[in-house]
A and B are shown apart, each in its own frame.
Chain A
Amino acid sequence: MTIAQFLVLSAAMFSIGIYGVLIRRNAVLVLLSVELMLAAVNINFVAFCRFLEDTAAGGQVFALFIITVAAAEVGIGLAIVLLIFRNRASANIDELDALKW
């Protein structure tokens, strides 16, 4: 196993995440794509931690942090989506342009 394999996987996941964030119309799927990007970053952290033989395990700790933050973020994000859905009977973010000029 080489680090390149992990990095390729991570890059692929991140790109899929970006694609999802930019293209998807459904707010839930956009959130899901964001989670995908965060997971890609986590793979990077853990992989580097393993291959650089970090005895303090800083990369793993960071990965745990990111998981925690991601959980919180999704919690708030889904709550917002839920409220929007209740108000407008739609989760299509193209229609959520009330803040335009």
Chain B
Amino acid sequence: MVTAAVLSGSSILAATGEAVERSDGGILAAGAWLIVLVPFLATLAITLFGKRLPRNGGELAVGAVAFVAVYGTVLLLATWFGDGIVYEGGVTIGAFGGFEIEWAWVVDGLSIMMFFVVGVVSTACFVYAVGYMEGDVRPTAFFASFTLFAGAMLMLVSAANLIQLLIGWELVGVSSYLLIGHYWEQKENSSAGMKAFLVNKIADIGLMIGIIIAAITVGSFTISTIMKKVVETDAALDDVAVVIAVLLFIGAMGKSAQFPFHVWLPDAMAGPTPVSALMHAATMVTAGVYLTARMFPLFEEMAHEALDLVLIIGAITLVIAGLLAIVQDDIKRVLAYSTLSQLGYMVAALGAGAYTAGLFHLFTHAFFKSLLFLGAGSVIHAVHSNNMSDMGGLRKDMPRTFWTFIIGSAALAGLPPLAGFFSKDEILAAFNEGGHGVVLALGVGTAFITALYMTRAVSLTFFGTYKGDGHPHESPAIMTVPMLGLAGAAAVAGFLNVPGITDAFYKLVVTRLVSAELLGEHATSFDLTALGLGLAAGVLGIAVGYRLYYEDASTQHERDRLRIPGLWPVLENKYYIDDLYMNGIVNPIKGPIARFVNWTNGNIIDLIVNAVGALTRGFGRFVYGGLDQRGIDLAINEAGAGTGFLGGKLRYIQTGKVQQYAAALFGASIVLVIGFWISIT
């Protein structure tokens, strides 16, 4: 039964009385559940039949995400060229207490944007993965988990209620665990998977408590109901809004790998490269940003203090992660820390109240970061090493990878007219406009650092002479074509939201049930201060990077010459945060817990088990000796003996003499006659 929680144009929640016409999207939006269902069905099909298919299930996986990409694109075009779709539909699954549990999907600008990004980036990564994973040990398991990963993210972004969001959230966690630990034969890979899972789990506790408090306060898990209360400035919700917002953000910090939960993301590089590409671009790490954006009116209207926390966490993350990216040798780790840093930008933008800017950076970043990861994967595929010290001079051997990587790097460094330039500029402008001077300075500084580490990565990988073994070759077309596609997207995506010129993206993401005023300001013209600072930082970063790293040397270690004493060891050891967690949290907890559990096992559980065993033995003995032998057997034996005894006595009646029998017969007849005669008189 499809319950029509359908919200059409007339019910737009607006703080002011302004009425905006919205369409409900018709059959297109009503059928959006297919977007979620198809990947899950594909996962099932791959698990069951994948091994029998020529590509080990890769074709099913690609088909599923390609469907999502097409559907997402159609929805995107429909909302752009229509009035903007706002729709909520659902199926009630059950109810307990006053809470209805339903599978409900929301189709509005924000979720359509995510459908599109997840669909397109997944399609690119999946097609690439079909080439990349050829000859892998467990391709079917990989494709099944990979499809589940995309499906879980779609479940998350389509969720109209917080329970469903949580289910998607946890499924993303589970499938990422499977994917990061794909090569589990090596201990560090499975440990990385476990680390990602556990760190996420800790943060998820915040999310869960936040959801529970919100649901109890509002009386519903449905996000639109919560938004309605926000718009009505419900007093009960207002009281706990800051707590809810902070708790939800703690969950977001875990998935989006914000400081201090950032430690899992670089280790998650243990997974196959397509996984890293998807995880860092469209799925998983964007979930936290998405959650914050989805609940943004709550932060903006009722929990401004929480928004400050968001800003601070984002700012810390963007700087510390950016600095770490400079010292990494593993090319994927450079990109991983870069992702952290860019996520910091997004989170800080949301914290500064720039809803559109944060999401726009998510959008553009998805394209160029997945591109960079696929490029890195292509290089790794050719060199058979993750380390840049084994690379160098690949420009000639891998021209397509080189050029697409250059486009991605330039986009990340924020060079016009590529995507990153516009989105980063908008974030810096938001910092400037919000009066967050320190954060602006950090943002601009990190823009410099970003340009620096990307120049370093490009120089060490593609310029100079080759330092590795063998002869690297360009990857096959199945891998380079998705990269070319993403490069195209990374080049043009920025034009969707040029301040004062185009506002397609802005219009898209504010097409929501809540009116646009609740979603922060949108820059209508270029902020020249921020623009100038950001661009200058980027160009300066590239220049410094060129000066430091371009020149070739006999070893990559020699080329890598920026080694500031004092700072360098700190960065090499990741600010000792991992050690702090390991020695300060994990081991102190692990040791006593292990001892306690061991003690419990030896003294309590064994005691119980032994006692139960002894008790059972005693009972068994009683049942055997007391009940069975002396009770039941006795009764049966006695019954048998009694019958035998009686039979022995009675056999003497059988004399064999016919006349005795006849006498008995006549005697009995006479007795019967007398009895009959007595009874009738």
Contacts and interface: CB of A to CB of B under 8 A. Distances in A.
Nearest to A34: B662
A101 B651 contact: yes
A99 interface: yes
Nearest to B654: A101
Given A93-B658, A93-B659, A96-B658, A101 B652 contact: yes
A18 B666 contact: yes
Nearest to A97: B656
Contacts of B654: 99-101
B655 interface: yes
A22 B657 CA distance: 11
**A-B pairs with the 5 shortest C-beta distances?**
A100-B656, A97-B656, A101-B651, A99-B656, A101-B654
Interface string A61-78: 000000000000000000
* Range, interface on chain B: 10 to 19
Nearest to B658: A93
B663 interface: yes
16 contacts: A18-B666, A21-B659, A22-B663, A22-B666, A93-B657, A93-B658, A93-B659, A94-B659, A97-B656, A97-B657, A98-B656, A99-B654, A99-B656, A100-B655, A100-B657, A101-B656
Interface of A: 18, 21-23, 30, 93-94, 96-101
Nearest to A18: B666
Nearest to B669: A18
Contacts of A21: 659, 662
Specify which of B651, B652, B657 lies most central, judged by the most chain A CB atoms within 10 Å of its CB: B657
A31 to B, nearest CB: 12
Interface in B639-681: 651-652, 654-659, 662-663, 666
B653 to A, nearest CB: 8
Contacts of A93: 657-659
Interface string B615-659: 000000000000000000000000000000000000110111111
A42 to B, nearest CB: 19
A52 B656 CA distance: 44
Contacts of A101: 651-652, 654, 656
A43 to B, nearest CB: 19
A99 B651 CA distance: 12
Interface in B520-578: none
Given A18-B666, A97-B656, A101-B654, 6 more contacts: A23-B659, A30-B659, A93-B657, A98-B656, A101-B651, A101-B652
Nearest to A94: B657
Nearest to A27: B658
A21 B659 CA distance: 7
Nearest to B653: A101
A22 B660 CA distance: 8
A97 B652 CA distance: 13
Interface string B497-532: 000000000000000000000000000000000000
A97 B655 contact: yes
A27 B666 CA distance: 18
A93 B661 CA distance: 12
A17 to B, nearest CB: 11
Contacts of A100: 654-657
Contacts of A30: 659
A21 B662 CA distance: 8
A98 B654 CA distance: 11
Contacts of B658: 93, 96
A10 to B, nearest CB: 16
A25 to B, nearest CB: 9
Contacts of B662: 21-22
Contacts of B651: 101
Contacts of B652: 101
A23 B658 CA distance: 11
Interface string B571-606: 000000000000000000000000000000000000
Interface in B413-448: none
A96 B659 CA distance: 11
A7 to B, nearest CB: 15
A23 B659 CA distance: 8
Contacts of B666: 18, 22
A72 to B, nearest CB: 20
Contacts of A98: 656
B650 to A, nearest CB: 9
A22 B656 contact: no
Contacts of A97: 655-657
A94 B658 CA distance: 8
A98 B658 CA distance: 11
Contacts of B656: 96-101
Interface string B288-317: 000000000000000000000000000000
B546 to A, nearest CB: 124
Interface string B102-138: 0000000000000000000000000000000000000
A16 to B, nearest CB: 13
A21 B663 CA distance: 9
A93 B659 CA distance: 8
A37 to B, nearest CB: 10
A100 B657 CA distance: 7
A48 B181 CA distance: 111
Nearest to B666: A18
